[in-house]
Amino acid sequence: MRNAIKATATTLLRLPSEEDAKELFAVVDANRSHLREWLPWLDLQTTVETSQGFIRACLERERTMGAFTGLIWHQGELSGVAGFNSIDRMNRSGQIGYWLARATEGRGVMTACCRALIDYGFDAKHGLDLHRITIGVAPENHKSRAIPERLGFREEGRIRDAEWLYDHFVDHVLYGLLRSEWQPAEPG
């Protein structure tokens, strides 16, 4: 079990604990309209208890599948969430999902977090030993699409009506990366 993954000198992905629920809810609540444009779960996150439920689900996914999801601590502030939403053990494939508080956008924080998650995902010795990592993004979510594109993912296709966003479906552009295509970070 991995408790934390360092993304940069100032950015840490840390497995949540139930004590983080209050702070997590405050960040979600302050970023509601920003996040609601592309994420489907905002109307379910209405109280600190619902954030606690999310944290429990993350810990359970990590315990049962090794699917690490971390709170993003950037310069000591809780700034978002990134991790493996799902892992298909049989086929050694994992799907990454993420969001960032508006105030932390535009600094490369999420790209660095994804780079660290990918290193962890493909690492056969200390990580998840995955063969393939995917990211699914709505076609018009340009900021999000830029992340897999920056990291060398290949656009593999389009999943029709992949996600229900409150009152309409959006397609997903599916980005995929194979271990053989990834250059891991230098250790240290």
Chain centroid offset of residue 24 CA: 15
Can you tell me the distance from the alpha carbon of 36 to that of 16, in angstroms, rounded to the nearest whole number?
22
- Judged by CB under 6 A, the residue of 21, 147, 173, 174 near ligand COA is 147
Least distance between ligand COA and beta carbon 111 (Å): 3
Is 110 a binding residue for ligand COA by CB under 6 A? The answer is yes
Strand order in the sheet with 69-74: 4-8, 11-14, 69-74, 77-88, 93-100, 132-137, 169-178, 154-164
Least distance between ligand COA and beta carbon 186 (Å): 16
Provide CB contacts within 8 A for 156, sequence distance 6+.
Answer: 134, 174, 175, 176
Q: Which stretch binds ligand COA (CB under 6 A): 21-29, 52-60, 63-71, 94-102?
A: 94-102
Q: Which stretch binds ligand COA (CB under 6 A): 31-39, 51-59, 64-72, 85-93?
A: 31-39
Residue owning tokens 């980005």:
175
Which of 115, 110, 97, 123 lies closest to 179 in space, CA to CA? 123
Q: Which stretch binds ligand COA (CB under 6 A): 13-21, 48-56, 101-109, 119-127?
A: 101-109
Amino acid at 145: R
With the C-alpha atoms ordered 44, 66, 84, 87, is the resulting torsion angle positive or negative? negative
- Judged by CB under 6 A, the residue of 105, 123, 129, 171 near ligand COA is 105
Is 162 a binding residue for ligand COA by CB under 6 A? The answer is no
Is 7 a binding residue for ligand COA by CB under 6 A? The answer is no
Of the pair 85, 129, the CB lying nearest ligand COA is at 85
Of the pair 137, 177, the CB lying nearest ligand COA is at 137
Pairing, β 93-100 against β 77-88: antiparallel
Is 99 a binding residue for ligand COA by CB under 6 A? The answer is yes
> What residues line the site for ligand COA (CB under 6 A)?
35, 38-39, 98-100, 105-111, 137, 141, 143-144, 147
